[in-house]
Chain A
């Protein structure tokens, strides 16, 4: 393809990416460096149906003048990134310089909102990604070996968890694990413990969310691996059988090596997706026990009255950096393979 044709071909999508991906990211990055203007407060008397009270209020004229002068807000540099709601540099410094041992350090750092959210996000990502890949691979192998006439319905059923909207799926499970619900009541009966509740303790809530996440993401891994299985070189498989390889050995030495490039792709997508975990936390009302980075952004923007755009923007940028760091090993690997093939 000539360069000019290539340019004409790629231009519309490049333009769209610039407009709808690059520019918003730049705007979020800029936003994260600013905080709101100083609010000029005055104390006034408020009266209503329940009597009168002294209250402060914002003096809109004085504040409007400040806004006029600096429409973007006050420049705060990296201040928002370093404050308690994000990297909490001062607080972490204090904890590190004055503590009662490593356990104390961990529990106090975990008490800071960003690190709390990061902990769950990382644990979730690093458990759900491999678990759903393994489960997806197993389902793909199973579906691949059933008779042709059952394949259609089985594939549809296996895809169902992925088709159900995450919020809806998590809500349905949430009701089922309620102590009056099917799963919750059964668990109480099995363990003979009427106090047992999957929603009450942090550990059980984490397990619930991770199981849900695996259930939800498995079909994605399944569908990709299943497609990969259709391209298995039959002659290699047959020669392996002639060589006396049993089913497990065929999987280990023929199927898995064939699917490794696909696994890289699945892993990449799952890592990105799982790092942005959000809906199950809302669906399971799990805020008390598990928060994620995406949930922090939501919480900043969905405050009861005020919206903290700077804070949300800073968390967004940190999330993006997190995704890049996570994907780095996979990207480097892909790059090397690409170079090797090019040579």
Chain B
């Protein structure tokens, strides 16, 4: 009986697959298994890639915010559990460190006609990933509040401080600013943004030696602390999602928020359409008289696992390129800041694109940047709460980073 049921099920499933069979995007056969982070724009790409299933081609996907902890073990086994890992600047690093992804140059040549040269992530001359969307933090400003206060749109962090002062003095808002300063990843990320704007570098060139305790580091911390003067006292618990909630309830006038979250903030069907309508999206501010925006740029892209058959690799590549073909961007212009060819960027993408055009730096891809990020997130909170000097906080970060980097084998 059991065998019978199984056979029947198999037959139904086979019929189902055959029924939905399409052209298969020109794939001859193979298995596509995608591991990705979980957010809307990625879901769109993966759904498009999944439409290639049929005719001996299977497409499966696992979208999870825990993708970073899955990817290394899942791609280390042979054959790898996933053929495609969707990554960003920082999450490609462990895959590179462990040599788990394959160079894509031959596949790009064969099947990558729709890709632009700028989408190819080249590491040491070899294409290791294909980027399809950009991201970064940039200014979300309440235009109505600026008008009410009679202010110009600020373009520097110093200007934001002055604007916040005016907004407070005119009694419009007591706490007009917000930043994702939650201790941990977010706090470190704010430091990275501002520090890049200050023109700082995180490491001695070519080595894993930390180099943040200089003047740029101190100025960065002082600026971050100065901004908190105009934030609600609980700023050490703010995440990007928390900021969105605060912004939508009308508690924030100016903030540096993720470009990928624009839609949630200005959605006319959302909880606060009038705030969305009054929102001005502007490139990230500069800081300290520099010209580089104080915001790290991110890309999301896909990589192909090394430990899989060439057939599966080819099938995966074709399916993913189908998922990110230029039409996907054209049909969903507001879903993300797409990097595809002929993408006419709408207003919603201008924040990220403007930040990129103003010369913002990408988030560093150094193999030990993750350790630095963790150390920053853990050790800066004392300073942010005013119980420690900036110099001491930076010394603590370097000490914590050095300990971790020694254990990870980057420093001796």
Contacts and interface: CB of A to CB of B under 8 A. Distances in A.
B192 to A, nearest CB: 11
A44 B392 CA distance: 33
A175 B253 CA distance: 22
B408 A308 contact: yes
A61 B99 contact: yes
A56 B207 contact: yes
A307 B249 CA distance: 38
Interface string A288-320: 110000000001001111111011000000000
Contact of A47 (B94, B121, B370): B121
B231 to A, nearest CB: 11
Interface residues of A, number: 60
Interface stretch (A1-9, A150-158, A195-203): A195-203
A187 to B, nearest CB: 13
B173 interface: no
Contacts of A284: 237
B360 interface: yes
B384 A288 contact: yes
A231 to B, nearest CB: 46
B120 A305 contact: no
A80 B410 contact: no
B131 interface: yes
A179 B131 contact: no
Contact of A305 (B182, B373, B381): B373
A285 B182 contact: yes
Contact of A49 (B174, B339, B404): B339
A213 B196 CA distance: 41
Nearest to B381: A288
Given A111-B382, A302-B69, A58 B131 contact: no
B374 A45 contact: no
Contacts of A195: 233
B373 A304 contact: yes
Contact of A288 (B183, B402, B404): B183
Interface string B343-384: 000000000000010001110111111110110001101101
Nearest to B306: A60
A304 B399 contact: no
Interface stretch (B122-130, B215-223, B278-286): B122-130
Given A74-B409, A287-B183, A50 B124 contact: no
A230 interface: no
A182 interface: no
Interface residues of B, number: 77
Interface stretch (A30-38, A122-130, A263-271): A30-38
Contacts of B356: 49-50
A195 B233 CA distance: 7
Interface in A200-219: 200-202
Contacts of B297: 50
A45 B126 CA distance: 10
A197 B392 CA distance: 26
Contact of A48 (B99, B362, B403): B362
Q: Which of the listed residues B90, B124, B360, B388 has the most CB atoms from chain A within 10 Å of its own CB?
A: B124
A78 interface: no
Interface centre among A35, A41, A48 (most CB of B within 10 A): A48
A85 B400 CA distance: 7
A83 B237 CA distance: 29
Contacts of B96: 57-58, 60
A84 interface: yes
A98 to B, nearest CB: 15
B109 interface: no
Contacts of B379: 113
B404 A85 contact: yes
A20 B50 CA distance: 40
A64 interface: yes
Given A199-B236, A287-B184, A36 B119 contact: no
B232 A179 contact: yes
A306 B371 contact: yes
B234 interface: yes
A99 interface: no
A35 B373 contact: no
A43 interface: yes
A113 B361 CA distance: 31
Interface of A: 35-39, 41-51, 53-58, 60-61, 63-64, 74, 76, 80, 83-85, 91, 111, 113, 178-180, 194-195, 197, 199-202, 284-285, 287-289, 299, 302-308, 310-311
Interface of B: 68-69, 90-91, 93-94, 96-99, 118-125, 131, 134, 174, 182-185, 187-188, 203, 205-208, 232-234, 236-237, 239, 249, 297, 299, 339, 356, 360-362, 364-371, 373-374, 378-379, 381-382, 384-385, 387-388, 392, 396, 399-400, 402-404, 406-410, 412
24 contacts: A38-B412, A41-B207, A45-B124, A46-B365, A49-B119, A49-B131, A50-B361, A55-B365, A56-B367, A57-B97, A57-B124, A57-B366, A57-B367, A60-B98, A84-B403, A85-B404, A113-B379, A197-B234, A200-B233, A284-B237, A285-B183, A303-B370, A303-B374, A305-B369
Given A84-B399, A299-B378, A304-B374, 7 more contacts: A47-B122, A48-B362, A50-B361, A53-B361, A56-B208, A80-B407, A311-B404
Top-8 shortest CB links A-B? A305-B370, A60-B99, A288-B183, A44-B124, A288-B381, A285-B237, A36-B409, A287-B183
